[in-house]
Amino acid sequence: MSISLYLLLGATFVISAWALKLSSERKSASSVSKLPVPPGASFLFGHEKTVFYEQPGRAFRNWIEKCGLTYRIKAAFGAPDIVVLGDPMGIEYLTQKRIYDYHHSRVVRPRVGRFLGRGLGWVEGEDEHKRMKRLINPSLSAETLRTMAPDVRDAASRVLNDMSQVLEANNGAIKNVDVLHWTARAALNVVGRIAFLYDFEGGHGEDAENILHGRRRGVTPMARYTGFIFLMLLRRFPILNDLPIPAIQAQAIARLTIQNGVAREMIRRNKDFVDKHSKDLLSALLIAYSENRISLEELNEQISTFVMAGHEATTLTLGFTLWELAHNQEVQNRLREEIANWPGEPTYDDYVSGLPYLDAVLNETLRKYPGLAYMERVATKEDSIPLKEPITLTDGRVVNSVEVAPGQTILVPIIAIQRLDSVWTDGDTWRPERWLGDRNPTEKMWPGYANLLVFGSNGPRTCIGAKLAIFVYKIVLSGLVTRFRFEGTGEELALGIASSLQPWLKDKTEMGPQIPVHMYAL
C-alpha cells in the first residue's frame, strides 16, 4: 500500500474519530483529561510521532522527568489520550488485583495471535486464562526443570559443539558473525527437546530453518515514515488487521510454519503413546486433548505459542548479552572466571543462586534490554487506580489515584522505567556490578522479577516461561563464554521495536535483527 493511500484512509476516518472522542469525553467521570501532559504534541500525530522516532523509551523518560511517573499523552489522529503509568503501586494494582479487568488492546491482541497463536498469551477472561494456566504450569515449574536439567544441557551442547566445529574449520576465528544465528538455534533446540520431545537438529534442521527464517521476516522494520503512519492507523482502525497487507501478514509466517508442519508432526508421533508420567508440555497437552479437555485447535495454538515464545526472547536476551560482553572485556573475563572455577557441572539450583556474577549479568541485561518495551492494556470497567507518587492535576488538585473509564488505554513504559537515571544513576550503561552491593537490594521498586517489569509484573499474567528462560540463558551463556571469546566489530546498534525490542544496525536497519561480533576459540 502506498503512503498516499494510508493518508487517504486516515483522513477519511479522522473526522469521525474526533467527533467520537468529544462525545465520550463529555460522558466520562474519568480524571484522565486532567492528568499532566508533556508539551510538544502535534495536532495530527499527538505525542506518538515523538515516541516512534526517538530511541525506544527515550521520550517516555524525558516526560517522566517533566511530569512524574504518571501522565497522559496525546494519541495520533485524535484518538483518546493514553495514560502512561509508571507508578509502582498503580502497576501493582492493575497487574495483580485487577488484571482481568484490563485486556490486551485491539492492536496488541491480534498481533499476539499472529505471532504466537491464540494460546495462553492471547486469551482473555479469568476462567479461560486460569484453566489454560493450570494445564501448562506444571510443565514449566522449577521442580520439572530440575528433572530436565540433563536434557537442557545436552540440547544446548549440541549447538555449542556445532559452533566449536565451525570455528575449528576457520582456524579458531570468525569475524563479523551474527550471533543471533547461534543463540536462536540454541534456544529453539532446547525448547524443542524439553517441551515438545522434538529434535530440531541443533537448529539446523529444515523445520528450525523455516521457523527462524519466518520469524526474521516478521520483525524487519517497515520504512520509517510509512511504518509510523501505518502503526497509528492500525491503532485507530483495527480492521486493518484483517486486510492482506504484507507487513502484517509477515508476522504470521513463523506461526503458520509451525502449525502446518512441526505441530502436526509432534502430535502425529506422540498421540498414541503418551506417557502419563512425563512432565513435558506436549504430553500435558496431548493428555488434555485425549480426555476432551482441549480441542485440536487449541492444542495447535498452544504448541505454536510455546515454540515461538519459548525461544525468541531468550534468543535476543542472549544476543544482547554477547553484544555487551564483546564491548566489556573485563566483565567477560570475570564472568568466564566465575564459571570456569565452578567445580563440575552446576545443577539447576546452582544456576538459580550459586553463580552471583552470572546472575548479575542476567539481571543487568534484562534491565537494559526488556523484550517487551511497552506493555499496553485497556480498561474494561470504570476503575480508580491508586498511586504511590501523588500527581498534581491540571486544575491544581493533588491526588493519589487516577480515575479511568472503560476503553481507556494504559501504557506501562517498561524500558523507560528500567533505565531511569533517577533510579539507576546511569540508566543506559550496562554495568552488572550495580547488582552486587552498590545498591540497596531490599529496596522495593517495581513489582516484578529483580524489581523490574521485564517478565511483566508478578501476578496472574506474569511470564509463565521465566524460570525456563533463565535456566536456558545461564546454561547457554556459560557454555559460550567458557568456549569462546567475543569482541566488538565497530558497528553500532540502533534499537527498534517490531512487536519486541530488536537489535537493528545503525544505517542498515533493513537487514533486520543482527548482533555482529568477532568470535574466537579459547
Ligand X SMILES: *[C@@H]1O[C@H](CO)[C@@H](O)[C@H](O)[C@H]1NC(C)=O
What's the farthest any 2 CA atoms get from each other in the chain?
72
Provide the minimum distance between the beta carbon of 116 and ligand HEM in the complex, in angstroms, as a whole number: 7
Provide the minimum distance between the beta carbon of 298 and ligand HEM in the complex, in angstroms, as a whole number: 13
Single residue of 138, 356, 390, 407 touching ligand X by CB under 6 A: 356
Residue 363 as a binder of ligand X (CB under 6 A): the answer is: yes
Single residue of 45, 52, 320, 435 touching ligand X by CB under 6 A: 435
Q: Could you please report the per-residue DSSP string of 139-193?
A: GGSHHHHHHHHHHHHHHHHHHHHHHHHHHHHTTTEEEEEETHHHHHHHHHHHHHH
The secondary structure of residue 219, as a DSSP letter, is: T
- Specify the stretch interacting with ligand X by CB under 6 A; choose among 198-206, 358-366, 369-377, 503-511: 358-366
- Specify the stretch interacting with ligand X by CB under 6 A; choose among 67-75, 89-97, 151-159, 354-362: 354-362
User: 112-133: b or e for each residue (b if 16 or more CB lie within 10 Å)?
Assistant: bbbbbbbbbbbbeeeeebeebe
Residue 348 as a binder of ligand HEM (CB under 6 A): the answer is: no
Residue 188 as a binder of ligand HEM (CB under 6 A): the answer is: no
- Specify the stretch interacting with ligand X by CB under 6 A; choose among 55-63, 188-196, 277-285, 357-365: 357-365
Residue 351 as a binder of ligand X (CB under 6 A): the answer is: no
Comparing CB distances to ligand X, the nearer of 423 and 511 is 423
Provide the minimum distance between the beta carbon of 307 and ligand HEM in the complex, in angstroms, as a whole number: 9
On whether the CB atoms of residues 171 and 178 are closer than 8 A, the answer is: no
On whether the CB atoms of residues 192 and 277 are closer than 8 A, the answer is: no
Give the pairing type, strands 82-85 and 398-404: unpaired
Sign of CA dihedral 312, 314, 316, 319: negative
Residue 200: in which H helix or E strand, if any?
Answer: none
Residue 82: in which H helix or E strand, if any?
Answer: strand 82-85
Single residue of 203, 310, 447, 496 touching ligand HEM by CB under 6 A: 310
Work out what residue 371 binds among ligand X, ligand HEM, none; the CB cut-off runs from 5 to 8 Å by kind: ligand HEM
Task: Measure the CA–CA gap between 386 and 85, rounded to whole angstroms.
Answer: 11
Give the pairing type, strands 82-85 and 70-73: antiparallel
The secondary structure of residue 450, as a DSSP letter, is: G
Comparing CB distances to ligand HEM, the nearer of 140 and 416 is 140
Single residue of 41, 186, 288, 450 touching ligand X by CB under 6 A: 450
Work out what residue 450 binds among ligand X, ligand HEM, none; the CB cut-off runs from 5 to 8 Å by kind: ligand X
On whether the CB atoms of residues 355 and 341 are closer than 8 A, the answer is: no
Contacts (CB under 6 A) with ligand HEM, residues 84-123: 120-121
With CB under 6 A as the rule, give the number of residues binding ligand X: 8
Q: Extract the annotated binding site.
A: 463
**Structure-block grid coordinates of residue 200:** 530440531
- Specify the stretch interacting with ligand HEM by CB under 6 A; choose among 30-38, 205-213, 240-248, 304-312: 304-312
Q: Which residues bind ligand X (CB under 6 A)?
A: 356, 359-360, 363, 435-436, 449-450
Q: Which residues bind ligand HEM (CB under 6 A)?
A: 120-121, 140, 305-306, 309-310, 313-314, 317, 371-372, 375, 454-456, 461, 463-465, 468-469
